[in-house]
Amino acid sequence: HGRAIGMPRVESVTEGVEMTRLCEQNSVKRIILLPGTHYLNQTVNLNQGDSNIRIVGQKGAVISGGVPLDSLKWKKVSDMDGVYVTSINAHLPNGITGLMVNGKRAIRARYPNAVPETSMFPEGYILNSTKWGMPKYKGKPCDPNDFCGQSKTIVQEATDAWHGMWTNFSMGYGGSCDRFDPPQSVWCSSN
């Protein structure tokens, strides 16, 4: 048990790691993340000398490798119902590999429409006008908001400390995963 030494507030996780490296080598060091999203603009490289660092988030603290896209000006595409476009001026060296809207994963626009949870490689393209119908599960129309078939979710809790914010692993079985062999996927999980 050592005494707590007050450290100055820093602006990033990387700065916090650099600050802890100035402390005594074998002492336990904590970086406490306040509530909010802490964006990383580069990889945080830890080495053997960082073994005693504990990065602890208060409730509501999130570490994100994403880039915030604030103040976007959306325009409706006049001849397409529900389609909007915007220009993104942020520096995105890896492009847009994923998109979160209000903390939830969003599906990026594409044609033909596809949902990666159910079809990673959709076949064919729609060449003529078409009308979307209700999806079917086991031959009957179903509610897509209900995953079209309830899967059984099994959660494997992680008990070791290194998992950080990813403390549980969820797997869905059956239900909307019936089309897979074996009939399971993390995307069918209710979590």
- For residue 66, the Cα-to-chain-centroid distance in whole angstroms is 9
| Interval 43-52: pLDDT, tens | 899 988 888 8
| Separation of alpha carbons 180 and 177, rounded Å | 6
Instruction: Check pLDDT > 70 for residue 61.
Output: yes
User: For a pLDDT cut of 90, what percent of the chain falls above it?
Assistant: 5
pLDDT of residue 117: 61
Biggest CA pair distance of the chain: 72
What's the rounded Cα separation, in Å, for the pair 22 and 51?
Answer: 14
Average pLDDT over residues 11-22: 88
* Average pLDDT, integer, range 104-112: 66
Q: Which two tokens stand for residue 118?
A: 């159910």
Q: 68 pLDDT exceeds 50?
A: yes
pLDDT, mean of residues 68-73: 84
Most confident of 31-35, 106-110, 181-185, 186-190: 31-35
Provide the pLDDT for residue 60.
Answer: 92
Q: Say which range, 31-45, 79-93, 159-173, has the weakest mean pLDDT.
A: 159-173
* Percent over 70 (pLDDT), the chain: 78
Task: Give the pLDDT of residue 177.
Answer: 81
Beta bridge partners of 61: 36
With a CB cutoff of 8 Å and minimum separation 6, the contacts of 122 are 112, 114
> Hey, what are 27's tokens?
């002492």
For 64, list phi and psi in degrees, rounded to 5.
-130, 135
Residue 183 CB contacts under 8 Å (≥ 6 apart), including other chains:
173, 174, 177
| Predicted TM-score of the model (pTM) | 0.48
Phi, psi for residue 166 in degrees, rounded to 5: -95, 75
Mean pLDDT is lowest, of 39-43, 117-121, 134-138, 154-158, for 117-121
What are the structure tokens assigned to 86, written together?
């915007």
* Rounded-to-integer distance, Cα 156 and Cα 134, Å: 33
